Amino acid sequence: MSNKASRKRTAAPPQPPPAKQPLMSQEEEFMDEDVFIDQSLVLEDEESIILRDIEQRQALAARLSKWMRPPLSADYVAQSRSVIFQQLEIDYVIGESHRELLPNLSGAAAIIRIFGVTKEGHSVCCNVHGFEPYFYVCCPPGMGPDDISHFHQTLEGRMREANRNNNVGKFVRRIEMVQKRSIMHYQQSDSQPFLKIVVALPTMVASCRGILDRGIQLDGLGMKSFLTYESNVLFALRFMIDCNIVGGNWIEIPAGKYKKTMKNLSYCQLEFDCLYSELISHAPEGEYSKMAPFRILSFDIECAGRKGHFPDPSHDPVIQIANLVTLQGEDQPIIRNVMTLESCSPIVGVDVMSFDTEREVLLAWREFIREVDPDIIIGYNICKFDLPYLIERAANLKIAEFPILGRIRNSRVRVKDTTFSSRQYGTRESKEVTVEGRVQFDLLQVMQRDYKLSSYSLNSVSAHFLSEQKEDVHHSIISDLQNGTAETRRRLAVYCLKDAYLPQRLLDKLMFIYNYVEMARVTGVPISFLLSRGQSIKANVLSQLLRKARQKNMVIPNVKQAGSEQGTFEGATVLEARAGFYEKPIATLDFASLYPSIMMAYNLCYCTLVTPEDVQKLNIPPESVNRTPSGETFVKSNLQKGILPEILEELLTARKRAKADLKEAKDPLERAVLDGRQLALKISANSVYGFTGATIGQLPCLEISSSVTSYGRQMIEHTKKLVEDKFTTLNGYEHNAEVIYGDTDSVMVQFGVSAVDQAMNLGREAAEYISGTFTKPIKLEFEKVYYPYLLISKKRYAGLFWTKPDNFDKMDTKGIETVRRDNCLLVKNLVNDCLHKILIDRDIPGAVQYVKNAISDLLMNRMDLSLLVITKGLTKTGDDYEVKAAHVELAERMRKRDAATAPNVGDRVPYVIIKAAKGAKAYEKSEDPIYVLENNIPIDPQYYLENQISKPILRIFEPILKNASRELLHGSHTRSISISTPSNSGILKFAKKQLTCIGCKAVLGKGYHTVCSHCKGREAELYCKTVSQVSELEVLFGRLWTQCQECQGSLHQDVLCTSRDCPIFYRRKKAQKDMAEAKSQLDRFCDIWFIAEFYLEDHRNRGRNVLFGNPDRTF
Amino acid sequence: MGMERVQCTYDSLDETFEIREEMYQGQQYSHIYFTRLRLMRTLLYSLVPHWKPNFPVCTVLGLEESKECVIVGTLYKHMKLKPCILDEYSKQKSVVPLVQPRNFVHSDDYLVLEDESGRVKLNGNIIPPSEYVTGIVVALLGKESGAGDFLVQDVLDAGLPPQIEFPLKSGEDKYVVLVSGLSVGSSSSNPLQFQLLVDHITGHLGDEKEQSIASQIVRLIFAGNLVEIPQRLLNGQNLASKDLARISEPIRELDILLSQIAAGLPLDIMPGPSDPANFSLPQQSLHRCLFPGSSMYNTFRSCTNPHCFELDNVRFLGTSGQNVDDLDKYSDAKDKLEFMERTLRWRHLAPTAPNTLGCFPYTKRDPFFIESCPHVYFVGNQDKFETRVIKGSEGQLVRLVCVPKFSETGVAVMLNIRDLECHALSFGTQFSS
């Protein structure tokens, strides 16, 4: 896609970071019961059409067959060997119960499907039978076996009423009495009776839960409502938990325990049925920690949009699809191809396939998917743009057979409209495409979730991670390239291929496959949960909790959503920051994994919490409980070991082991796995606390989370006190230590010494001393020294970061927002350069001068325009905005100028603030930077000074400088102002251009072209200045334009790129324009040259026939 | 008694380097590569039948896996260390200031061959990336490997261009003096040293024998960097009038020196990187208004850089050094003369332009293409004097000369156009303190 990132944004509203996400539909989605997956199967005659189609394209098929997976060996064919494979995707369908495997059952049943790959690279579809959906309720006291059977009948009756349309023999298969205990609260008894309710189909869990929630009339007990347990667990996850399967692990089905399916329903090479009890799940260790050779398809499409419109599948054709297939673990793709509409010149190393109709392009792609059989489909914004577009386009072209892209034969890909609501972003509609058996990994979504960047365009993401600028072809050009020749279409294809290649490179560079598979293994959920479910953190803590509870014979209640009325609790404290510029080393004492440590140290868990009533009632000896600073009571581990502390211990021990193994490991692939694992373990451990505190989460328990933070606060204050009491001159230390700041899990101490190594020694001593006073495993560590340290306020500081006494490691900044999108680049540069000067060069006067120069440059109109560009996303059209916004107004104005190049909804709109008439509203002062460049429109320096620069700069300088504002923003450097004269403003159109003297700007009289008579003697000097300007511009011109050639990867073709994200885009434009102007200025000197020529003629003879030597002298 | 200075004919061939009609009109650099490729390809295609008669000639597009063939295209060298202007904008300032290496060659560099149809990565040790640079057009024999790379088996460059016949020996010694890097106004400039040179060539120094040699000097060529104007003064925004005057001070001083020479013998001045001229190649001649005194003499010629002329039908081609200095940054050779030799064999005076060497964005021609082989090829502003004669396959003979910076070495070069013999002329000023 052209202009990919920006344009695709319409369809892809940036997801808010999971932690802050307020509830709404995403939340519901996870909460929601399993949905019956209706397979939209294609009718038989349609299939024969497809078959005919295939025949017609034998040639293509031959090409495609090259890309097939390796053929099965004889023992696989004979089913004489165990099948061992790494699973990637687990879902279920409703089908007929398997007669051979389950002779006693009949009717509809849920069949689990596991998709995966063997180590030889064969694709596997394993249909698992016999696993039944169930949940628990607490057994009312006094209920005997007869009562249960009665209860069963009543429930069955209610279920039949509620699901009239459902034609199932039996809804509730059975109810068993089991001994379990609830995870909630400390209980003295080990267990109590629970009823395990087994239902026929997964969807019935929810319906059954609803009935029990509302209450059910029971003989002898009256109307009774039940609290259900574990009734909100997705069926696939339930299966995984009960079978000890974690996301992305290896599964073995021994020979003889599986049966080949009668009729293959999938395109997988190995497809078979088995019983769930026959599965062997291998823990991801040793040989089984490796990755199977997954096939990863990275693709990108191009559409020919109409001028001025965002591509719409009901109008605009798909013209190219570029594909790259890479085997997991290899660094070069095995397949590179591009499918184009109309001819396209060949590309080296790429299989170019051209077709005459769009229908053929789409069908070729479908065939390709089927033959290549990718396990993972990646791309940039494929989930919200490319895939839905292809499917809708095919629907518009009435190609019914197109959307069979999944692994299930004849099953069409389903497009689901989803709405996504959040307080931050409002409600948006988007599409979700389900491709059965293949994992979709959309790099855009992953980037938005995992990284905080100022822009998520493919261009800026590649620039950020791969240090590569991507050529960006404006979408208005795409149609022109398509309508050109085979050569121009080739150009487009190369561009399209690059867009398909970059996601793969990002995937490799950022180790996403390793990290996500490891995350799935650690948390136990399928990879697709981590990718598509908004609340991945909650999902995976819950999964771990369920697994652990199962081991302990505990069950987890399905607590009603309490909403947010539970109130908030006091968050983490920060000690007051003593703002200032510290020129002595500041030692930082850090708590290592503070919150997990607190939970372990004080045994904080659901099952160790004693309710206030129980505190009175249970009579627990005081030495066996901890009272937390927030007033809660938890029993110590001798009475009941908490589940959360146990999970945390395991995670942290596993992390330690992974890190130790990582040190040993030599093989890069093994290292990647281990590194991914330790990272996943860390994230997991840190998310447990958040899980207990999420008031609208799965199982909130504010008693735990508020206790954790209250302990945290206590610890920080305790540390401050100990440090300031111990490290004093009274105790024989050189100086009195001072705590200047404390954050959630760290304390900054100024020991008063001036050498880094001294501060390090004292830091180490303090960490050890204070750690001794804490309950294990809470530990204070000394890691780093800041020197010098600029403390601005809470959560805002900057300093040089030292871990060894000889050299600093880096410059560390926090909370000094230099990456905010609505800041112009100037702010970012200014802040960075100032910090650099202050901290590294230790040159405060230099930094001050630097700011003054920059401000003066701004006021004198010497600032590079690209530094002043502000960018905002256009999310809807002007009418929908309640308040007029600068970028929206500008988009409207640009549309009136030229609809073809004006930004569309979803694009980012870059603008600068220009000088406008007095009293103009802020939103009226925005203008397109290109338009500004071309017409010499003056920018508004005051706006930039007041609204952009002043705050961040003052923030930095206030701790350093007295009267920072007066000195920096109002000094003498702000007195001279220069404003360019616009070339298009009204009055100037009537003005006659007159030549002015290059030296003094006086209007030149007749006969003078360059300088006035007054400046005549200064020609040489003026020429030098003018030519040096030309020369500077030439340097710039050359470097900028050759850089763009470099990016586009071609010397012989013109640069088309219009990426406004590129830092040199405006410079390049400006250089081109300035160059022409400076050159014409210089040419004015040439005019005298010709005059001089005439004038010279007379004098020429003076030098003719010059004799050797000076004629006046004789030898 | 006076001695008459030896005369000789002079023809300027600078026209090709003059920018008159061409303008900046939004054109980009693709045209110059395109033109260069067209010119060079025609030439190479005419050589291929002799070089590899039995192989088909393909375009990059037409490559087929493991089919041996000849392809012609522009080389592009991918360089890891090459400075990138984007870094200046987008990257965080690095904590430790980077020291720019003198040479950007790295063992990971690789070559790519490009024509209008596409690019292919080159492989094999026949074509070492460290010797080649971006912008050269060559013919390659090889085959495409499975991975889409082209395995090079042999390389053909265009070779020395045809040469006009060297004039018959007249028996008369005629000397041309080559000087570069006077750098008047710089800290290293030594006015006395230069005055010695002036006095020597104008015949004001030495005995009769020396004078008679001096009388055989027919021309003086200044190969760039005549003055050095403090950059600070040119960039400064609001200059005091005192500073303004200081800009032209070194030029005025130079004008006086040049007038002394011009009064005695013909001289050519070429602009160099530090002169008040434009930056991009070809640098246009220094403006006459800078030299109100010396330009009054018809012996005074302000020329372009590169500069091409004939003296008594001996062809000279030279630059002020930028072309070779740039090759030195982006490739390796045993000495500067080897770089010079390569440019002749590649038939291109400045292959790295526009990629790393600034040049005008030509649309219809490539003035740096060397059509005819010079007899004397010089580059100015080098660290030391070096010279060698190379021979072409068709009997071409070329005298290569590296002209050292005068301000730093006190060395000028004397070249006899009778036999192309050449030696250093060294001036020293040492005072015992």
Closest Cα in chain A, distance from residue B283 (Å): 10
Which residues are CB-contacts of A893 (< 8 A; sequence separation ≥ 6)? none
pLDDT at A360 > cutoff 50: yes
Quick one: A672 and A757 in the same domain? Answer: yes
Token reading at A352:
């170019």
Span A239-244, average pLDDT: 92
Which of A348, A354, A1014, A1018 best tests the B interface by mutation, with the highest count of B CBs <10 A? Answer: A348
Residue A1077 scores a pLDDT above 70: yes
- Give mean pLDDT, residues B66-77: 90
| Amino acid in position A222 | G
Question: Greater confidence, A379 or A702?
Answer: A379
Instruction: Compare CB distances from B263 to A866, A1023, A1110 and report the shortest one's residue.
Output: A1110
C-beta neighbour count of A635 within 10 angstroms: 23
Mean pLDDT of A351-359: 90
pLDDT in tens, A272-290: 999 999 999 999 888 898 8
To the nearest 10 degrees (0 to 180), the angle between helices A58-65 and A44-56 is 90
Residues 6+ apart with CB under 8 A from A924: A889, A916
Q: What pLDDT, on a 0 to 100 scale, did the predictor assign at position A995?
A: 67
Cα separation, A647 vs B23, whole angstroms: 73
Residues A126 and A138 placed together within one structural domain of the fold: no
The pLDDT of residue A153 is 87
Give the torsion through C-alpha atoms of A724, A725, A729, A732, to 10 deg.
Answer: -120
Q: Smallest CA–CA separation between A1025 and chain B, in Å?
A: 6
The answer to the question of residue A43 being in a domain is no
Tell me the nearest-neighbour CA distance from B206 into chain A, angstroms.
Answer: 11
pLDDT over 70 (residue B274) = yes
Are the CB atoms for A133 and A202 separated by under 8 Å?
Answer: yes
Name the domain boundary from A940, A974, A1008: A974
Q: How open is the CA angle B46-B47-B48, to the nearest 5 degrees?
A: 100
User: From the centroid of its chain, how far is CA A436?
Assistant: 24
Residue A42 lies in a domain: no
Read off the CATH number of the domain in which A93 is found: 2.40.50.730
pLDDT at B240 over 80: no
Interface subset of B 268-297, CB within 8 angstroms of A:
276-280, 287-290, 292, 295-297
Tell me the per-residue pLDDT of A95-144, one tens digit each, with 9 for 90 and over: 888 888 888 877 788 999 999 999 999 999 999 999 999 999 888 887 77
Minimal Cβ distance to A1075: which of B24, B33, B298: B24
Please give the mean pLDDT across all residues of chain B.
85
CATH number of the domain that A748 lies in?
3.90.1600.10
| Number of C-beta neighbours around residue A1030 at 10 A | 23
Residues A668, A720, single domain; the answer is yes
- Mean pLDDT for A394-422 is 79
- Same structural domain, A607 and A472: no
Tell which wins on pLDDT, A582 or A875. A582
Q: Do both A149 and A234 map to the same domain?
A: yes
Tell me, yes or no, if A486 comes closer than 8 A to chain B by beta carbon.
Answer: no
In this structure, is residue A12 part of a structural domain? no
C-alpha to C-alpha distance for A644 and A547, rounded to whole angstroms:
12
Residue A68 has what pLDDT? 84
Stretch (H or E) spanning B415: strand B411-416
CB proximity B120 to A under 8 Å:
yes
Q: Which of A378-382, B249-253, B372-376 has the lowest mean pLDDT?
A: B249-253
| Residue B265 in tokens | 């013998």
- pLDDT surpassing 50 at residue B233: yes
The neighbouring-strand residues paired with A519 are: none
Alpha-carbon distance of A405 to A390, in angstroms, equals: 11
Q: Which residues contact A266 (CB under 8 A, 6 or more apart)?
A: A125, A407, A408, A409, A437
What is d(CA B393, CA B162) in angstroms, rounded to the nearest whole number?
10
> Do A121 and A214 belong together in one domain?
no
Strand B314-319 versus strand A172-182 pairing type: unpaired
The domain boundary residue, chosen from A495, A510, A525: A510
Q: Per DSSP, what are the bridge partners of residue A301?
A: A321
Q: Is residue A987 part of a domain?
A: no
- Are A413 and A458 in the same domain? yes
For residue A13, pLDDT beyond 70: no
pLDDT of res. A184:
87
Give yes or no for residue A16 having a pLDDT over 50. no
Q: Using the predicted structure, report yes or no on whether residue B93 has a pLDDT greater than 70.
A: no
Judgement on whether residues A481 and A450 belong to the same structural domain of the protein: yes
Interface test mutation site (partner A, options B74, B86, B109, max chain A beta carbons within 10 A): B86
- Contact across the interface for A1053 and B30, Cβ inside 8 Å: yes
Distance CA A399, CA A812 (A): 56
Domain membership of residue A786 (yes or no) is yes
* Closest chain B residue by Cα to residue A1079: B24
DSSP three-state, residue A785 = strand
Range from A27-31, A480-484, A882-886, B24-28 that averages highest in pLDDT? A480-484
Whether A757 contacts A802, CB under 8 Å: no
Say if residue A434's pLDDT is above 70: yes
Give the highest mean pLDDT range of A44-48, A776-780, A921-925: A776-780
Residue A281 domain-assigned (yes or no): yes
The boundaries of the domain holding residue A834 are 816-974
Question: Does A941 share its domain with A838?
Answer: yes
Interface contact B86-A332, CB threshold 8 A: no
Per the structure, the count of domains in chain A is 6
Share of chain A above pLDDT 90, in %: 11
Does residue A833 sit at the B interface (CB-CB below 8 Å)?
yes
**pLDDT of the residue at A112:** 93
Q: Are B27 and A1041 in contact (CB under 8 A)?
A: no
Please give the Cα distance from B23 to B361 (Å, whole number): 9
Q: Mutation test of the interface with chain A: which of B20, B200, B288, B357, choosing the one with the most A Cβ atoms within 10 A?
A: B288
Bridge partners, residue A667, by sequence: none
**CA-wise closest residue to A973 among A869, A844, A862:** A862
At A717, phi and psi to the nearest 5?
-70, -40
Q: Is B212 on the interface with A (CB under 8 A)?
A: no
Q: B371: closest CA among B327, B317, B420, B323?
A: B317
* 3 state SS of A545: helix
How many angstroms from the chain centroid is the CA of residue B72? 25
pLDDT band at residue B377 under the 50/70/90 scheme:
very high
pLDDT at A127: 93
User: CATH no. for residue A442?
Assistant: 3.30.420.10
- In chain A, positions 320-349, which contact chain B (CB-CB < 8 Å)? 332, 336, 345-349
Interface residue A847 vs chain B (CB under 8 A): no
Residues A593 and A648 in one domain: yes
At A515, the amino acid letter reads: N
pLDDT, position A624? 85
Q: In this structure, are A435 and A398 located in the same domain?
A: yes
Please determine, for residue B88, whether its predicted confidence score (pLDDT) is greater than 50. yes
Residue A566 has pLDDT above 70, yes or no: no
- Residues found in chain A: 1115
What confidence score (pLDDT) does residue A33 get?
Answer: 39
CA of A1027 vs chain B CAs: smallest distance (Å):
6
Domain layout of chain B by residue ranges: 10-23+163-426, 52-89+102-156
- What are the pLDDT digits (tens) for A747-805? 889 988 888 888 898 888 888 888 888 888 888 888 889 988 888 888 888 888 888 88
pLDDT at residue B433, as a whole number: 41
Q: Give the CATH class of B10-23+163-426.
A: alpha beta
Q: Which of residues 151-170 of B touch A (CB under 8 A)?
A: none
Determine whether the interchain pair A1052/B74 forms a contact, defined as Cβ–Cβ distance below 8 Å: yes
Asked whether residue A533 is assigned to any structural domain, the reply reads no
Least confident of A279-283, A564-568, B298-302, B310-314: A564-568
Chain B residue closest in CA terms to A1052: B30
Closest partner CB to B114 (pick from A1050, A1072, A1111)? A1050
| Beta-carbon separation of A1085 and B289 below 8 A | yes
CB contact under 8 A, A1051 and B86: no
In a domain, A1048, yes or no: yes
Beta-carbon separation of B289 and A1092 below 8 A: yes
Return the number of CB contacts < 8 Å for A and B.
223
Contacts of A976 (CB under 8 A, 6+ apart): A856, A859, A860
Q: Which of A974, A1006, A1038 is the endpoint of a domain?
A: A974
Which of A 1009-1068 lie inside 8 A of B, CB atoms? Answer: 1018-1021, 1023-1025, 1027-1028, 1030-1032, 1034-1035, 1037-1043, 1045-1046, 1049-1055, 1062-1064, 1067
Q: Beta-carbon neighbour count of residue A727 at 10 Å?
A: 23
Residue A571 has pLDDT above 90, yes or no: no
Look at A537 and A235; give whichever has higher pLDDT: A235
Which segment, A573-577, A615-619, A954-958, is predicted with the most confidence on average?
A954-958
Tell me which CATH code domain B52-89+102-156 carries: 2.40.50.430
* A1100 touches B at CB < 8 Å: yes
Among A450-459, A921-930, B89-98, the minimum mean pLDDT is found in B89-98
> What is the percent of chain B where pLDDT is above 70?
91
Q: Are residues A344 and A354 in the same domain?
A: yes
Residues of B in Cβ contact (< 8 Å) with A348: 60-61, 63, 118-120, 144, 148
> What chain A residue is nearest to B283 in terms of C-alpha separation?
A1031
pLDDT at A903: 73
